[in-house]
Amino acid sequence: MRHQIDREEISEIEKLTVEVKQIASKAGANLVGIVLPRAIDALPKIWVGFKEIQDHTKKTVDIMADAKSIVVLGYHIWDDMLELAIHKGEKWAYPEYFAMKALALEVVTYLEKKGYEAAITNSLSYKRLAQLAGFGNYGKNALIINSEFGPWMRFAVVVTDAEMKPDEPFEKNLCENCENCLIACPVGALAPYKVDYTKCLVGIHLIGKENFERSEKWRKFEPSLTMNSHLMCMKCQNACRYGREKRQI
């Protein structure tokens, strides 16, 4: 009898896992993976220390006491136009992240309708979660590299008390001896597996380290299309040998 109950429970878990993955894919996710809270919580917290985020990444239990699964969503950046940054004074808006939020909300709504607790979080390391979800490896450009989409992926994360079947972590190193990204960075912000945000052009904008708007030197890497917008530097992503075919659609 006990054996039968266990099997029923497992099939419920598997059924929900399939359903959530289908909902997310229908909403536009290109990759969906499940990570168990204990897998990420076993790793030490990371100091982010970037702009207003003067904090460590959190443990899943700090976000939801009874968390049982983490849904990791990957969204393909198929065109440079998605790399738009639009500013309003000190604040910045990114269309790619609006898309990610809408996607994550679909998953939250679905789980809540089923009676589970679900919350979008920004306080866990997305890159670690993406590797644990099996999406790709932590690359020399400090981005997750997927064999199909390359680094052209953005992530969103939903923590839930619903039990789901975890995916296997990604274990290969796709970079091998390649250092294209390190060479391509126009400001020398990359060392293998590390980005210096005080040098990275994307970071410089955000921390206002120098008067970027007047800095013609870097303008060519971040062209302005309108009064309040520019495309974020993509040199390290463009240099990657993975994901190029998928951008020509």
Chain residues binding ligand B12 by CB under 6 A are 46, 48, 50, 83, 100, 122, 125-127, 138, 141-144, 151, 153-155, 193-195, 197, 200, 202-203, 206, 232, 236
Q: Which of residues 13 and 99 has its CB atom nearest to ligand B12 in the complex? A: 99
In the bound complex, what is the minimum distance in angstroms from residue 146's beta carbon to ligand B12? 8
Q: With CA atoms as reference, report the closest residue to 127 among 117, 118, 140.
A: 140
CA–CA separation, 223 and 229 (whole Å) = 9
In the bound complex, what is the minimum distance in angstroms from residue 145's beta carbon to ligand B12? 7
Q: Which of residues 16 and 153 has its CB atom nearest to ligand B12 in the complex? A: 153
In the bound complex, what is the minimum distance in angstroms from residue 218's beta carbon to ligand B12? 14
In the bound complex, what is the minimum distance in angstroms from residue 47's beta carbon to ligand B12? 6
Q: Which of residues 16 and 67 has its CB atom nearest to ligand B12 in the complex? A: 67
Which CB contacts under 8 angstroms, 24+ apart, belong to 216-225?
Answer: 218/186, 218/187, 221/186, 225/84
In the bound complex, what is the minimum distance in angstroms from residue 220's beta carbon to ligand B12? 17
Structure tokens at 158: 């939903």
Backbone angles phi, psi at 73, to 5 degrees: -115, 135
CA–CA separation, 29 and 104 (whole Å) = 9
CA–CA separation, 8 and 16 (whole Å) = 12
Q: Which of residues 37 and 203 has its CB atom nearest to ligand B12 in the complex? A: 203
Give Cα separations from 239 to 116, 132, 179, 187, 206 (angstroms). 42, 25, 9, 14, 23
Q: Which of residues 48 and 119 has its CB atom nearest to ligand B12 in the complex? A: 48
Q: Which of residues 75 and 110 has its CB atom nearest to ligand B12 in the complex? A: 75
CA–CA separation, 249 and 241 (whole Å) = 17
Structure tokens at 186: 């126009």
In the bound complex, what is the minimum distance in angstroms from residue 45's beta carbon to ligand B12? 9
CA–CA separation, 6 and 93 (whole Å) = 47
